[in-house]
A and B are shown apart, each in its own frame.
Chain A
């Protein structure tokens, strides 16, 4: 008369769904990404002259510094299980505000940058507040944010604003040389500092662990007494802040503000995050993986440039293909939804 059928043996031989694989499942995509990056670099080096150089790698960072910053912000949001579609537009708006204030109103960068960052963070916090307070899906709220930011760009100017301000130009063109004539831009340093900060925040602060807990199980996080609302609002604020900073870096990179800058960057940021091993359902992933994801996107671009015969649109197609592979991979690893029949 015992519950004999559920013996210990049957329990051990039949692992629980997801048991044991969870730890591994967070790392496998990351590993795949790393291997992919190395493979692409190796293949590129074998095929193309001048590919195998440290400067090529550094140029990846120089050309993608702003994307890295934006993707880091997106990672915060995605880790909570949310999504932020407004990042590209906020980047564009930031380039517009920066360029307009510096060029047309004679503001100094020292005043403009804090203002732009504040606007970005406040906008993000506002979206987070709406999402949290009224329980509206993040995608539709940030979609509105996307419209709003892009539309505000046009109210500033429908034309591109080129920056001639000497101070800005000099910062933008500053090369920080290392040994052997290698160099990076100021933006790269800023982006790496942001990455490092994000890593520390996510892995070594209570707020960061709250972000993971929220993505793991929101109801649990609430019952464990974690500040769910403030955390949610904060991740969107972080995303807004990173987008604004990305916009400032893009202003340096392009030396202009334009409403059409960063079109579709939200997709690149999401793609980089996913390829970097973060689960789109939240709760699992690494911000350093996101950096790898950004490098993969940059590497695709670089390979296509070196190839010469391939056109730029292949970048989109390859990114889409990679996204497909990684999303299917994530799906298979976290197990299929119980019943879809």
Chain B
């Protein structure tokens, strides 16, 4: 292969992997999450695990760390077969994990968080002096300067993350899995984290690093394993990759064929963008989720939000609905400033939003199709002004027919519907409110091909009728097919807004996602 990009990169060919997984298969009800996946981790390397949503990253980590058991495949630790019934056994075998959400106890001190469960004891009682001494030693070894008796909760997330790593390394120092540790850290904090990771690597720890930030992969990692749709896409040394090729490996697909799909949108793009914007965001942002961005949305226009998972595309959309409240910036509707403190206020301004988390934030599984459909309209009217039963049934029937929801029974319980049909119900709920701006966050994720095509058609039709649509999707193909303009997000920033004309190709978007600038 090509020459190692950094002097620290190990010659991976010779040493035995500390962790080797082959042929890992994991089936969940209805989903084959992992299919013949392999992963090799060598001592003293930082190894990135990359993949889009649903690629199987988190399932693989859970198999490696004993949260799930694999259905098939072998796991070798130091060349010996290992199977873990729970995270504790994985830890004992030398594999520790630091999760994205810090999994420590904020109410306990830093020292205690590092050593709890393994506190030095004297006469059966915890020896607090020794606890503090040992914790301080561990922190000093890794060049960290913290007051070990301060409560963990009084420190920033970044420091908590570092403490979690110190604990993990002290528990078992062979393999360290870092699951998106940087997603809510700022630049200085990331730098601090990386210097710790590099020190650990130099001490021979094998580090599996999961992230969505391409820069960080190139900055820190020696090798990359890419998963796609539950399969192993490939293992690469960092020198073989450029940001663009990495994104191509992750997203996959025959890029050349995408172009023709978007032609229809191309033709109309220019005219849709003309005129006064319906909704205008100025410097709208929220710390830790998306940096301030500007966006004009016109009636009848579909704007696609493109970017990798974790790029801030969902977060940007949520701010426009008041689902999360913005720290900075201003939104105007029809040129008038409005306050989007909560979804209720957004609904009042005829903005609608379908969350990507259909189950937890979208549908009501216990309720019927009819109840789910009328809910948003009813909520806007308040409980004292009910929609009559006859009207409810009429509306439900109309939308069941219009969107071909199955079963076509208004009284069917929503939890019994397929994902695609649940999504259609959710769409119907908002279409009933006659929104002027419809925000769709991953509306086609996890649903079958037929339903997907229908939803895409619906979006085009709505836009033709004058509704503005903000369309968030991980699938570039879909975004380009539907959108008149594409806003590209990268590392929590909106880096470009492109009019989707003939010059916009998937490659150009990919390049923008990969490099952060429109070439």
Do A and B pair up? The answer is yes
Interface bracket on B: 35 or more
Known A-B contacts A205-B125, A224-B116; the reply to A5 vs B285 at CB < 8 A is: yes
Known contacts A215-B107, A220-B105, A223-B99; A11 and B156 CB within 8 A of each other: yes
Query: Is the CB of A167 closer than 8 A to any CB of chain B?
Result: no
- Pair A209/B108 contact, Cβ less than 8 Å: yes
Q: Is the CB of A225 within 8 A of B117?
A: yes
**Are the C-beta atoms of B126 and A204 separated by less than 8 Å?**
yes
Name the interface residues of A293-312: CB closer than 8 Å to any CB of B: none
How many A-B residue contacts, CB cutoff 8 Å?
107
State whether the Cβ of A339 lies closer than 8 Å to any Cβ in chain B: yes
Q: Tell me if A3 is interfacial: C-beta within 8 Å of chain B.
A: yes
For residue B482, give the distance in angstroms from its CB to the closest CB of chain A: 29
Of B103, B112, B121, B285, most A-chain CB atoms within 10 Å:
B103
Is A20 in the interface zone, CB < 8 Å from B? yes
In the bound complex, what is the Cα–Cα distance between A212 and B112 (angstroms)? 11
Q: Is there an interface contact between A206 and B117, defined as CB atoms closer than 8 Å? A: yes
B283: nearest chain-A partner, CB-CB = A5
- A206-240 interface code vs B (CB 8 A; 1 in, 0 out): 10011011011101111111100000000000000
Contact present for B151 and A22 (CB under 8 Å): yes
Question: Which A1-38 residues have a C-beta within 8 angstroms of B?
Answer: 1-3, 5-8, 10-11, 16, 18-23
**Contact of B188 with A by CB under 8 A:** yes
Residues of the B chain whose Cβ atoms lie less than 8 Å from the Cβ of A23: 150-151, 154
CA distance A23 to B151 in the complex (A): 6
In the complex, A82 has a CB within 8 A of chain B: no
B-side contacts of A226, CB under 8 Å:
116-117
Q: Which residues of B contact A223 (CB under 8 A)?
A: 87, 97, 99, 103
Chain A proximity mask over B467-506: 1 for CB below 8 Å, otherwise 0: 0000000000000000000000001110000000000000
* Contacts A22-B153, A23-B151; A216 near B107 (Cβ below 8 A): yes
Q: Is the CB of A217 within 8 A of B106?
A: yes
B133 at the interface (CB under 8 A from A): no
Residues 114-145 of chain B, each 1 if its beta carbon lies under 8 Å from chain A, else 0 = 00110101001110100000000000000000
The smallest beta-carbon distance between B90 and chain A, in angstroms, is 9
Q: How far is the CA of A206 from the CA of B119 in the complex (A)?
A: 7
What residues of chain A lie closer than 8 Å to B9, measured between beta carbons?
none
B16 in the interface, Cβ–Cβ < 8 Å?
Answer: no
The residue on B at minimum CB distance from A226 is: B117
**B99 surroundings in chain A (CB, below 8 A):** 223
Per-residue CB contact flags for chain A residues 189-210 toward chain B (1 = under 8 Å, else 0) read 0000000000010011110011
A2 CA to B190 CA, complexed, in Å: 13
Residue in contact with B187 in the complex, picked from A2, A209, A283, CB distance below 8 Å: A2
Indicate whether B457 reaches chain A with its CB closer than 8 angstroms: no
Q: Does B342 contact A (CB under 8 A)?
A: yes
Encoded as 1 (CB less than 8 Å from any A CB) or 0, chain B from 86 to 109 comes to 011001000001010011111110
Q: Among A5, A219, A283, point to the contact of B107 (Cβ < 8 A).
A: A283
- Pick from B103, B150, B344, B491: contact of A217, CB below 8 A: B103
Q: In the complex, how many angstroms separate the beta carbon of B62 from the nearest chain A beta carbon?
A: 11
Asked if A6 and B125 sit within 8 Å, CB to CB, the answer is: no
Are B125 and A204 in touch, CB under 8 angstroms? yes
Q: Known contacts A213-B116, A341-B342; is A22 also within 8 Å of B107 by CB?
A: yes
Question: For the complex, is A95 an interface residue (Cβ under 8 Å from B)?
Answer: no
Distance in Å: Cβ of A336 to nearest Cβ of chain B: 13
B277 interface residue (CB < 8 Å to A):
no
Contact A209 B103 (CB under 8 A): no
> Which chain B residues border A210 with CB–CB below 8 Å?
116-117
B434 within 8 A of A: no
B103 touches A224 (CB 8 A): yes
A302-334 contact mask (Cβ, 8 Å, vs B): 1 or 0: 000000000000000000000000000000000
A6 touches B126 (CB 8 A): no
Contacts of A7 in B (CB 8 A): 186
Within 8 Å of chain B (Cβ to Cβ): is A284?
yes
Q: How far is the CA of A215 from the CA of B287 in the complex (A)?
A: 29
Q: Quick check: is B393 within 8 A (CB to CB) of the other chain?
A: no
**Contact B157–A216 (Cβ < 8 Å):** no
Find chain B residues with CB under 8 A from A224 CB: 103-105, 116-117, 167
Q: Are A19 and B516 touching (Cβ within 8 A)? A: no
Instruction: Give the chain A neighbours of B188 by CB distance below 8 A.
Output: 8
Q: Is the CB of A213 within 8 A of B88?
A: no
Distance, CA A205 to CA B112, complexed state (A): 12
Asked whether, in the complex, the Cβ of A22 is within 8 Å of the Cβ of B492, the reply is no
> Which residues between 188 and 223 of chain B lie within 8 Å of chain A, taking CB atoms?
188
- B153 / chain A contacts, CB cutoff of 8 Å: 18-19, 22
Q: Which of A3, A200, A209 contacts B491 (CB 8 A)?
A: A3
Contact of A225 among B87, B156, B186, B344 (CB under 8 A): B87
Contact of A1 among B112, B126, B516 (CB under 8 A): B516
Please give 6 more A-B residue pairs, beta carbons under 8 A apart, in addition to A22-B151, A205-B124. Answer: A19-B153, A200-B125, A209-B112, A217-B103, A217-B106, A225-B91
**Can you offer 26 A-B residue contacts whose CB atoms are under 8 A?**
A1-B516, A3-B187, A5-B291, A6-B187, A6-B288, A11-B156, A18-B153, A19-B153, A21-B154, A23-B150, A200-B125, A205-B124, A206-B117, A209-B112, A209-B116, A212-B107, A213-B108, A216-B107, A216-B108, A217-B103, A219-B103, A224-B117, A225-B171, A226-B116, A283-B105, A341-B344
The 4 closest A-B pairs by CB, nearest first: A216-B105, A216-B107, A6-B186, A283-B107
Interface residues of B (CB under 8 A from A): 87-88, 91, 97, 99, 102-108, 112, 116-117, 119, 121, 124-126, 128, 150-151, 153-157, 167, 171, 186-188, 285, 287-288, 291-292, 325, 341-342, 344, 491-493, 516
Mark A residues whose CB is within 8 Å of B. Answer: 1-3, 5-8, 10-11, 16, 18-23, 200, 203-206, 209-210, 212-213, 215-217, 219-226, 283-284, 339, 341
